Amino acid sequence: AKKALVEELNAAVADHFALYLKTKNFHWHVAGPRFHDLHLMFDDQATAVFGLIDLIAERVRKLDADTVTSIGNIARRTAVKDQDNAALSAEKMVTELRDDNAALVARFKAIKELAGDAGDNATEGLVDDWTDQAERRVWFLSQTLK
């Protein structure tokens, strides 16, 4: 059970690295009438995502396991799809980030269950906050699309 938990936590670390870069990409390349608001929101969200990387990775280390070690390792573990189109519409950027963050919510719910199976109440408690943060990002992005 612990091994499965560590694998999912490491996938969450990889997802956060990939999502951080994608969110910064969109922050740098967003254009159009909503530029100002989206530029600021993407930057705020990138900062929040980046802030979780160390917390999740240190949780892996506290479980006496290794965490991600390289860009290649991150690329192999992440479920976040690359987006290299710098001319993507603002709406498509928001939609992609909403969907990526929703996938993180699902991953965190799976991690919570795995933590319970492993008897790891510390991870169970931490993942509640991580889930809430991802749900908040989904909410903001969803409301932006209305």
Using CB atoms within 10 A of its CB, is residue 124 exposed (0-12), middle (13-18) or buried (19+)?
middle
Which pTM was predicted?
A: 0.96
What are the contacts of 2-7 at 24+ separation with CB within 8 A? 2/63, 2/65, 2/118, 2/120, 4/114, 4/117, 4/118, 5/63, 5/111, 5/114, 5/115, 5/117, 5/118, 5/120, 5/123, 6/60, 6/63, 6/65
| Residue 111: pLDDT band with limits 50, 70, 90 | very high
pLDDT in tens, 18-37: 999 999 999 999 999 999 99
pLDDT in tens, 51-106: 999 999 999 999 999 999 999 999 999 999 999 999 999 999 999 999 999 999 99
pLDDT in tens, 135-145: 999 999 999 99
Residue 15, pLDDT score: 98
